[in-house]
Structure formats: C-alpha cells, structure tokens
Amino acid sequence: MRLIKSIFALSVFLVVASCGDKGIYAGYQKTESGAYMQFHTKNEAEVMPRLGDEVSIEMSQYFDDTLLFTTAGDKPIELVLNEPDFVGDVVDGLLVMHVGDSASLVVPADSVFIKMLGMDEIPAEYVGKAIYYELKLLSVKPAEVLAAERQAFLDSLQMAENEFVAPLKEDSRNTLTESGLIVMEKTGKGRVAKMGDYVDFDFLICKPLGDTVMNSFGVESVEMQYGEEFICRGFNEAISMVPEGGTMRFVIPSALAFDSIGYETFIMPYTPLVVKLTMNDVMDKVEYEKKLADQEAQKEAEKARLQALEAATIENYLKANGIGEEPTETGLYIIREKEGEGNLAQWGDEVAVHYTLNNLKGDLVESSYNYGEPMRFTIGKGEMIPAIEEALMTMAPGAKVTLVTPSELAFGEFEIDKDLLPAYSPMKIELELVEVK
C-alpha cells in the first residue's frame, strides 16, 4: 500500500458538494496536474514538490460541514509523494503547491472509494458526491536528500553490524563456515539431516542486543522437511549442521539473512541474527511416515477413551438425576420444563433464545442471562451447536427445556476450557425460546 493510502485509508473523509451541469466544481479551477483547487495563499517564490519528495502538510477534512479530521493541535502529516491513485487526487493537489501555500482541494468520492481505497462498491450516500480537503504545504524535503539520509542510515547500520560481527570472526573459539555463518558452540553426536529428511527442532532468534525476534522453546517445535525454505538462507544451512539431540549457537550475518532490506518492522537492514537451535529429531521418510501413523493411532485411541468415558458420564448423570426420558435418534436428551404457545420453530426461522451452559459436574460455563438479552440467530445457518438447533425445532415460543447432550452435538473435539469444558465433554443446557420470526 502506498504511503498516501496508509495515512488516509483509516477513514474516509467526505464532504457533499454540488457540481455544475458540466461537472465543474463551483469556485475551483482545474490545475495542470488535473486537481481542482481553490488557493487561499500563494507563495510562488518558494519551492514546489516533485514525485519522490517528502512533504510536511497540515490537513483538515469535512463531511456535510462536519469536521471529521484535522491536524490542528497535532503533528503535521509527513509523506512521500508517490504516483497519484487517480487524476486530481491529494498528490496531484500538492504537486501544484508551493511551500507556504494553503488551498482547498475537491475530488470525486467515486474515485476515492474505487481507485484509492480499492472498494468494489461505493456507499449509496456518497455516489456522485465530492471530497474536500483543506491543505497547507509546510515544507519539502527533496528526493535526493531523502536518498542521502537513507544511505547514511544504512551505512550506520552496516557499520554497527561490522562492529558486532568482526570480533566474533576473529575469535579462535568460533568456527566460520564457507558461507560466513559464525558457529560459537555446538553439542551432540547424533546424525545430521540430509536433503529430504524430516526434522523437528526448537529455536530462539535474537538481535545483537538480546531482543527476541522469534522463539519456539516452550511454545511449539517446528517440524518440516529439510530443503524447504525456513526463515533465511543462513538458518537453512544451520539445520543441516546440528546433530540430532544436539544444540548449536551461531550468528547469521545479514548477508545470509535479510541483508540491506530487513523484514517489515521486525528486523532492520544489516541486522545479524543470534540463534540457538536444538535439534529434537531427524527422520528419513519411512521414519517420518511411521511417526505420523503412530500419532494418528494415539489420537484415535485417546478419542475412543474419551468417548467411552463420556458415555459413562452421561449414563451416571441420568441415573443420579432420575432422568428417564429416551434420547432422540442423535443421542440428545430433551427434558421439557415448560410448554410454549404457537407454532414450533422451524429450519430457517430467526429465533431469540436464552441459554445456560453447564458441564455435567454442574459448573457454569456461560449464560446469556448474564448478558441481559437473548441471543439471536437463524436455525440452519450453522451459527449454533446442533443440540440447540435440534431442540428448538420441538419448541414453541415461551417453551423451556433442559438438554443433556453428547459432545458430538456440542463442541466435539474442541477444547473450550481446559478445566470446565475439555474436548469430548457432554453438557447440560437450559434453553428458553423467547421469540420466533
């Protein structure tokens, strides 16, 4: 996204303006850049910006005589003038101003929505309307100055990297690979990964001053096939150097990382990366496929165990509470507390319901009554768990029921709360149908 977009796309600042029969804005003149302008102050002796220059501006925006945004009382906006999004936009307006000039700019709202904001449709209230900006050009920094400042900044970063890396290269305790990777410590005697092997590892990446960039330790290890791209070239090289069960501490010079570009706002250009990598496992294809099969078997075994436990939990709950109702075909128990009046809710109806969710130990999970209003949704759109949708189609407005539901009609394998509602948890649901539309 261009800088001009990043500044103005947070909100759309519109003013309704009437246009003449021929599309000319009353009181505004079309400039050579295509912008419709009305100058209040002109300083023709001062410099004008060019594309690529950085400008500092004050700006206000209005809609229907209502001020929506202003820099008054705040810092001016600084932005680099890139190619306009459309003829006559803010950039085109600034290109015909001198430092010290103040002017009004008017642009069609259609162009703002479609060409600047990239929207497919224009809100109906803005079709054929206009956007007004009040602009004052405070200063211009030429592109050449920007480039020089940028180069000086990059030079300082490169110098800082050299000051950090040079002593590490000269330290006889460290090993320098052919590519330039600096290995400070390596342990372990297991096998190392070959191209096509599968690896499981943990890693910590820091900047030279110790700021953490990424960390998998205690979170989740990385499992991948060696040869796939990961992080950067230097990291990929290191993966093949760490023995199974071993650890390596090393530095990746920026030339093997993100070089003079950096990575978004996280890693500046010419930033060396300090890395700790622990290789948990190295597997060939056969071993990896066996690991996956074993994991799937363990998952299925645990699922079967939890489902068997769930069935026993439901049975014990029914006995303990004297519930003799027969389950529906899906396994749902519906205990009717109060009958409603009118037609039963149907598939596709919009309903309003109150609910209280408990686990079968009696612990409260959630209740709509605590929110002060019923929840509204449409039956059949997948907005609600199956147990509630099934029960609602047996209820008329005003009805209340208590449900005992197996997990497959509730949240199934999803863990809602580790203690209150882990995976494969049966539930008790108190349900009231408030309204049907």
Number of domains in the chain: 3
CA 311 to chain centre: 39
Same domain, 19 and 40: yes
Express each pLDDT in 58-84 by its tens digit: 999 887 777 878 999 999 999 999 999
pLDDT over 80 at 93, yes or no = yes
Express each pLDDT in 2-59 by its tens digit: 333 333 333 333 333 333 334 468 889 999 999 999 999 999 999 999 999 999 999 9
Same domain, 40 and 64: yes
> Distance (Å, rounded) from C-alpha 199 to C-alpha 223?
6
Q: Pull the structure tokens for residue 79.
A: 């932005």
Phi, psi of 238 (to 5 degrees): -65, -30
pLDDT for res 11: 34
CA 140 to chain centre: 35
pLDDT over 50 at 388, yes or no = yes
pLDDT for res 24: 65
Express each pLDDT in 285-294 by its tens digit: 999 999 999 9
Same domain, 425 and 337: yes
> Which residue range(s) make up the domain with 126?
3-141
Q: Is the CA virtual torsion 405, 411, 413, 418 positive or negative? A: negative
Express each pLDDT in 369-385 by its tens digit: 999 999 999 999 989 99
pLDDT over 70 at 434, yes or no = yes
Same domain, 132 and 201: no
Q: Which residue type occupies 164? A: F
Same domain, 119 and 190: no
Q: Which residue type occupies 112? A: V
For the beta carbon of residue 276, count every other beta carbon within 10 angstroms. Answer: 17
Q: Which residue type occupies 322? A: G
Same domain, 126 and 166: no
Specify the DSSP class assigned to residue 355.
E
> Distance (Å, rounded) from C-alpha 158 to C-alpha 176?
19
Q: Which residue type occupies 245? A: G
Same domain, 324 and 390: yes
Q: Which of 141, 164, 194 is the last residue of a domain?
A: 141
Same domain, 130 and 8: yes
